[in-house]
């Protein structure tokens, strides 16, 4: 990730020209007008919402969220209304604009007002049914790095020189504090658990870890989250229009945190984050605890023909509908005495895929339930382990026909 020359500890967006990332004061006004005009023109043509039908889990609704974004009120290059509109169009349910509290490079053009990003985004987002969270980013050098605080009541109160005091103030407001992009300043992105983070964690202040930031996935932070029982998050950290970096195909969607909430409300999102009911979707992968990924996968797929008939040494197909917005790359335990199964299948998002099966030499006549064991290659339940699951069929074996 490129860094702002004037602020070596500020994270910026990759692969964007310097004139876009670091506008001069003279060019900022023109940039904002151009940015808003371009985005506004696109919205006028395609002002529609792309639904992302991740399934609800038993007892919970699945909310699609991005808890780390910036606007012109810090070092972002879009107005807060654009962030809300983008999120609605991208199928999100909840967002947080986490503008830097200590860093405002556009302050000569836009007065520093830590309350305004939330107020503007909320006014635009609420009529769209979008949950907008009051938040801010505590921006410090390494250590301790950057920390986001969600569900604040007064963002400006965190503008304190002492980092401990700033984080304590966020917590006293009922804030949910998480560590942004832990490894971005480390050589080879090898994340380090600082003494400061240990103090925040021991105090009960550090409640979340950003294991995906933009296109960056941090397996070290992921393992910390599992070991320390800290909430896992994945966010865009968008500075420029989201469409600059992400597309509409399943593998090109913006990263997001899937929150399993008791209701579609601000308070329910807060409760779920503190309770660690999240998973991360990024670059066509699911990342998170198996207790969430297993039902997400199982509720995403539906076997169209669960009862099948197969002759001795014959072949047939199982039709599997993937109702989710992502492809699933599935590897089956290909051979058993009863059945031989296609080893690798991609269950394409929103489509029905075919799985070929063949009766094995050990298949006796009769009807019985058959379990097809498999691994979902793009669902990580630990940094080094993918989701193990199974599909169930009712098979009528017709031997000797």
pLDDT tens track for 80-98: 999 999 999 999 999 999 9
Which residue range(s) make up the domain with 197?
3-288
Is 191 found in the same domain as 100? yes
Facing residues of 347 across strands?
A: 328
Is 209 found in the same domain as 242? yes
pLDDT for residue 248: 82
pLDDT for residue 26: 43
Is 211 found in the same domain as 149? yes
Asked if 136 and 158 touch (Cβ cutoff 8 Å), the reply is: yes
Length in residues, the chain: 401
Domain CATH code at residue 56: 3.20.20.140
Q: What is d(CA 399, CA 62) in angstroms, rounded to the nearest whole number? A: 45
pLDDT for residue 340: 86
For residue 33, with 0-12 CB atoms within 10 Å meaning exposed, 13-18 middle and 19 or more buried, which class applies? exposed
Element (DSSP H or E) covering residue 190: none
Is 140 found in the same domain as 53? yes
Facing residues of 217 across strands?
A: 212
Confidence class of residue 35 from pLDDT cuts 50, 70 and 90? Answer: low
pLDDT in tens, 359-384: 877 677 888 888 999 999 999 999 99
Among 235, 262, 288, the domain boundary falls at 288
Q: What is the dihedral of CA 325, 331, 336, 338, to 10 degrees?
A: 30
Residue 293 lies in a domain: no
Give the N- to C-terminal CA distance of the chain in Å, as an integer.
63
Alpha helices in 177-241 (DSSP H): 195-202, 219-228
Number of domains making up the chain? 2
Helix axes 116-125, 80-89, angle to 10 degrees: 40
- Span 294-320, mean pLDDT? 91
Asked if 135 and 151 touch (Cβ cutoff 8 Å), the reply is: yes
Query: How many of the other CB atoms lie within 10 Å of CB of 56?
Result: 15
Output the pTM of the full model. 0.89
pLDDT for residue 44: 52
């Amino acid at each position: 990730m490129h860094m702002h020359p004037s602020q070596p500890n500020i994270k910026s967006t990759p692969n964007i020209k310097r004139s876009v990332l670091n506008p001069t004061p003279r060019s900022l006004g023109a940039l904002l007008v151009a940015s808003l005009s371009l985005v506004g023109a696109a919205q006028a043509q395609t002002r529609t919402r792309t639904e992302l039908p991740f399934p609800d889990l038993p007892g919970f609704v699945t909310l699609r969220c991005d808890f780390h974004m910036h606007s012109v009120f810090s070092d972002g290059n879009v107005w807060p209304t654009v962030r809300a509109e983008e999120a609605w169009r991208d199928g999100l349910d909840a967002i947080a604009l986490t503008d830097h509290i200590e860093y405002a490079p556009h302050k000569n053009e836009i007065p520093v007002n830590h309350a305004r990003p939330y107020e503007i985004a909320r006014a635009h987002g609420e009529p769209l049914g979008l949950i907008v969270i009051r938040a801010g980013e505590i921006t410090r050098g390494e250590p301790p790095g950057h920390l986001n605080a969600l569900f604040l009541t007064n963002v400006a109160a965190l503008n304190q020189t002492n980092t401990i005091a700033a984080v304590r103030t966020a917590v006293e407001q009922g804030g949910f504090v998480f560590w942004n992009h832990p490894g971005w300043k480390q050589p080879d992105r090898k994340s380090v658990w600082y003494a400061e983070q240990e103090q925040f964690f021991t105090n009960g202040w550090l409640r979340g870890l950003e294991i995906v930031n933009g296109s960056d996935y941090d397996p070290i932070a992921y393992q910390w989250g599992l070991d320390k029982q800290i909430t896992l998050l994945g966010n865009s950290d968008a500075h420029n229009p989201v469409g600059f970096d992400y597309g509409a195909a399943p593998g090109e969607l913006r990263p997001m945190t899937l929150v399993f909430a008791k209701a579609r409300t601000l308070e329910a999102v807060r409760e779920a984050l503190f309770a660690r009911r999240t998973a991360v979707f990024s670059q066509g992968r699911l990342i998170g605890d198996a207790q969430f990924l297993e039902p997400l996968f199982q509720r995403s797929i539906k076997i169209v023909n669960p009862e099948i008939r197969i002759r001795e040494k014959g072949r047939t197909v199982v039709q599997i509908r993937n109702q989710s917005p992502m492809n699933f790359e599935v590897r089956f335990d290909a051979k058993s005495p009863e059945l031989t199964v296609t080893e690798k299948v991609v269950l394409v998002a929103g489509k029905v895929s075919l799985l070929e099966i063949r009766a094995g030499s050990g298949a006796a006549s009769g009807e019985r339930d058959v379990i097809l064991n498999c691994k979902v290659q793009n669902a990580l339940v630990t940094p080094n382990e993918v989701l193990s699951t199974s599909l169930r069929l009712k098979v009528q074996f017709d031997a000797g026909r």
